[in-house]
């Protein structure tokens, strides 16, 4: 009997995770001598526990090809965390693996998924189950250790850069003073907020950029806004959802506005607070905008590099397990010293990834802690691809 495989989508969506799914599915088909069937769990690990699986090989090839241009997570996910105080959840997982004769396990997720993969690897090893397990990275936050950049981040970064450039265009429509603030994703890392710097390459970028790696001071924020407004009459600021105040609290959980509106204290939602704060200090027009879920699922402007790498890492995961490797995360490294953008794909032990969080290096943050240095463009521009080109008219005033 051939050994079967299982693919699990985990954590939050990205615009390219389905490209990784396609890479896994197509590569498993190419290894028909080693792999019998490929299943995908219904809503992540919960589907595995409940024995709810899809048969991927029953899908039409034309529809599978479309995965590479399909947003979000086609097989669904779950935020459920497998219990560690008892083996009851793991026993349910093991039962499903045995019933479906699953040998190869592919977990496609972020930081938490790498940790969960490590724990599952440990349990299955402890009970002497014969298996191979590989983690495929993805996240828009780019906070996974051991990889140059995680699939999903380049596309989210591109969406942020283009959206900010478009909003700055909009800001200059009227001849009145105006403050615009864009809230972007980023739990503890500022990679995505920093990506808004790329909008400057179009000629229309932000004036202020904040990151979670630096303490958020509301009074300084207001001063920064006022300084720009007095000089230019308009100000555009980018603030990530994960900024923290001096007491170590996330900004969204330390505000009475959000406690009332979001009693579950979910990540994000600082826009109402920032809007209220600015209205206390300024009388001009204020627009606070949450870029929202489109950052992580906007396939219409996904990075081509991101799509290719997401699929390639899915394929690499299958090949490495067929070769006998297990307990790893497939990864990509940017080749040092290369004059053009090049990467190499490999794998690293889960011990080097699980429980570790990558953050934005402070060398990219300016000394006044409200903008990003141009050096960051060397990192981000090859990932997000060619940006739109906008008209740069002379706009010479007519004379008679």
Q: Which residues are catalytic?
A: 141
Please report, in angstroms and rounded to a whole number, the separation of the first and last CA atoms in the chain: 88
Q: Is 315 exposed, middle or buried (0-12, 13-18, 19+ CB in 10 A)?
A: buried
- Starting at the edge strand found earlier in the chain, the sheet holding 208-209 runs 208-209, 234-240, 178-184, 285-290
In angstroms, the CA 52 to CA 62 distance is 24
Largest CA distance in the chain: 89
364-399 burial by CB neighbour count: b if 16+ within 10 A, else e? bbeeebbbbeeebbebbbbbbbeeeeeeeeeeeeee
Tokens for 111, please give them: 């930081």
Q: How far is CA 80 from the centre of its chain?
A: 19
In angstroms, the CA 205 to CA 200 distance is 4
For residue 37, report the phi and psi dihedrals to the nearest 5 degrees: -120, 160
- What angle do the packed helices 376-384 and 153-171 form, to 10 degrees? 100
In angstroms, the CA 143 to CA 249 distance is 19
């Amino acid at each position: 009997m051939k050994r079967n495989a299982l693919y699990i989508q985990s954590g939050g969506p990205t615009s390219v995770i389905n490209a990784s799914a396609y890479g896994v599915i197509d590569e498993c088909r190419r290894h028909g001598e080693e792999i019998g069937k490929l299943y995908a769990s219904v809503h992540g690990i919960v589907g595995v526990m409940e024995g709810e699986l899809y048969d991927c090989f029953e899908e039409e090839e034309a529809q599978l090809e479309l995965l590479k241009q399909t947003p979000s997570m086609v097989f669904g996910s779950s935020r459920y965390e497998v219990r560690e105080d008892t083996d009851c959840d793991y026993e349910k997982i093991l039962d499903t693996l045995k019933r479906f004769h699953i040998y190869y396990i592919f977990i496609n997720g972020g930081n938490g998924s790498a940790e969960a993969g490590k724990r599952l690897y440990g349990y299955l090893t402890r009970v002497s189950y014969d298996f191979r397990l590989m983690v495929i990275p993805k996240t828009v936050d780019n906070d996974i250790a051991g990889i140059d950049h995680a699939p999903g981040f380049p596309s989210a970064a591109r969406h942020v850069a283009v959206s900010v450039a478009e909003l700055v265009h909009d800001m200059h429509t009227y001849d009145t003073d105006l403050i615009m603030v864009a809230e972007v994703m980023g739990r503890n890392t500022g990679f995505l907020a920093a990506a808004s710097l790329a909008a400057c390459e179009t000629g229309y970028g932000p004036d202020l950029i904040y990151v979670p790696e630096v303490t958020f001071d509301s009074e300084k924020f207001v001063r920064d806004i006022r300084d720009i407004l007095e000089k230019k009459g308009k100000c555009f600021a980018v603030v990530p959802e994960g900024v923290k105040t001096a007491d170590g609290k996330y900004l969204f959980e330390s505000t009475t506005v959000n406690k009332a509106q979001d009693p579950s204290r979910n990540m994000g939602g600082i826009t109402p607070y920032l809007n209220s704060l600015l209205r206390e200090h300024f009388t001009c027009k204020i627009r606070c905008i949450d870029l929202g879920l489109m950052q992580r699922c906007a396939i219409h402007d996904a990075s081509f590099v991101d799509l290719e790498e997401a699929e390639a890492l899915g394929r690499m995961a299958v090949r490495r397990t067929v070769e006998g490797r297990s307990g790893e995360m497939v990864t990509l490294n940017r080749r040092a010293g290369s004059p053009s953008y090049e990467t190499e794909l490999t794998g690293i032990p889960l011990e080097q990834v699980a429980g570790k969080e990558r953050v934005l290096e402070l060398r990219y943050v300016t000394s006044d802690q409200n903008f990003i240095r141009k050096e960051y463009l060397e990192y981000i521009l090859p990932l997000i691809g060619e940006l739109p080109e906008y008209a740069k008219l002379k706009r010479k005033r007519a004379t008679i």
